[in-house]
Amino acid sequence: MRLCFDSLIRQLEKFKIPSELILVEWLPPADKPLLRDVYPWPRNLEYVRIRVIVVPSTAIGDYDYTEEFAIRDLTPWNVAIRRAAGRFILSTVADSLFSDALIAYIADENLHAGKIYRIDRCDVNRAVLEISSPEEWLAYCEGHIIDMHTLNPLKFLLKPKIPVLHDKAPGDFILMSRAIWHKIRGFPQGIAPGADHMLLYMAYLSGAQQEIMEKPLRLYHIDHDSSWKSPSYTLLRKLMIRWKIPFPLVDILSHVGERLFPVKSEWEKKNLCQLSAQTANDYVAEMVGGKRSYIFNGEDWGLGHQNLEEFSVGH
């Protein structure tokens, strides 16, 4: 998280982008200090405002959570999205880095208010965490891509009525205007996994058009172990990448292999999967068939009815 925050803040300052970085402290442990108090925030920032929003357990009412798995859907994302002040809002995660070319593209004010911006997720070797020099982080990432989650049009051949949207790893990067985010009321709450997948079609069917950012615009994702992936999927994907099979074909074959050799993920073992991929696809098919977007959330989406504690840090 520190590597990703430091890199992004450095880039936003370098390219002089008036911006805000919003961190949501979701259900912070009562016996530990807040991140806002222990994180070494950079000082004397000219273009970036850093906001921290704290969501204690007392603020979420009947939200379904356990101590073992406190984030069951994308409500924490919506908390920040609803309160963001920018004309455009990027929903991303704290294990991602962005190429300078991508940040420069945003700085040049190329973004269009009616578009959904998507990008390939390039997984990079986690050894980048061992590099101390900020100047070397991005160069290392570009030279050590170990997997890529890219648009695979072939998968849409079996469902010709579904629009071809870049639905690979959407939770890592969705960039849209604030107006679109508010029009569809953020990510569907109470749904996991699949809410990020559904949001793409909600935005598209509400009138937004897709634009896929291409190289040299890059999203780098630091590779790490994941509890939601089944071991069979992970193993097959690694083997096929080692065999230098093209990434779009890897995507198809790894899912086929997962069906042939099913092994439960840690999420499934703990009974934490609330929505199957098929159910999410059924929602999408219903939206497309009716030629309309669904609005899943009420007017209080993103805990809009709550007066949450907020801090500005790094000044």
Mean pLDDT of 17-43: 92
pLDDT digits (tens, 9 = 90+) for 183-238: 999 999 887 778 898 999 999 999 999 999 999 999 999 988 766 666 666 767 77
pLDDT digits (tens, 9 = 90+) for 63-72: 666 666 666 6
Asked if pLDDT for residue 96 goes beyond 60, the answer is: yes
pLDDT digits (tens, 9 = 90+) for 298-312: 999 999 999 999 999
Mean pLDDT of 267-278: 61
Tabulate helix, strand, coil % of the chain (nearest 5): 40, 20, 45
- 206 Cβ contact partners less than 8 Å away, ≥ 6 residues apart: 180, 183, 184, 293
Asked if pLDDT for residue 90 goes beyond 90, the answer is: yes
Please give the pLDDT value at position 177. 98
How many whole angstroms separate alpha carbon 190 and alpha carbon 195?
A: 9
Mean pLDDT of 169-188: 95
Please give the pLDDT value at position 58. 84
Please give the pLDDT value at position 232. 65
Q: What is the mean pLDDT of the chain?
A: 86
User: What is the total residue count of the chain?
Assistant: 315
Asked if pLDDT for residue 29 goes beyond 80, the answer is: yes
Please give the pLDDT value at position 269. 60
191 touches 73 (CB < 8 A): yes
pLDDT digits (tens, 9 = 90+) for 13-28: 999 999 999 999 998 9
Please give the pLDDT value at position 285. 84
Angle at 123 (CA atoms; ends 119, 126), nearest 5 degrees = 145
Asked if pLDDT for residue 297 goes beyond 90, the answer is: yes
Least-confidence region, from 120-129, 258-267, 268-277: 268-277
Please give the pLDDT value at position 175. 98
Query: Residue 185: exposed, middle, or buried by beta-carbon count in 10 A (0-12, 13-18, 19+)?
Result: buried
Pick the CATH number of 74-228+265-303 from 3.40.50, 3.90.550, 3.30.420, 2.60.120: 3.90.550
pLDDT digits (tens, 9 = 90+) for 108-165: 999 999 999 999 999 999 999 999 888 899 999 999 998 888 887 777 776 667 888 9
How many whole angstroms separate alpha carbon 232 and alpha carbon 244?
A: 19
Please give the pLDDT value at position 99. 96
Q: Which is higher by pLDDT, 51 or 246?
A: 51
54 touches 22 (CB < 8 A): no
Please give the pLDDT value at position 62. 63
Asked if pLDDT for residue 273 goes beyond 60, the answer is: no
Q: Domain limits of the chain? A: 74-228+265-303
How many whole angstroms separate alpha carbon 218 and alpha carbon 137?
A: 13
Mean pLDDT of 263-291: 72
Please give the pLDDT value at position 17. 97
Asked if pLDDT for residue 260 goes beyond 70, the answer is: no
Please give the pLDDT value at position 265. 64
- Measured in whole angstroms, the distance separating CA 62 from the mean position of its chain's CA atoms is 25
- 163 Cβ contact partners less than 8 Å away, ≥ 6 residues apart: 201, 204, 288
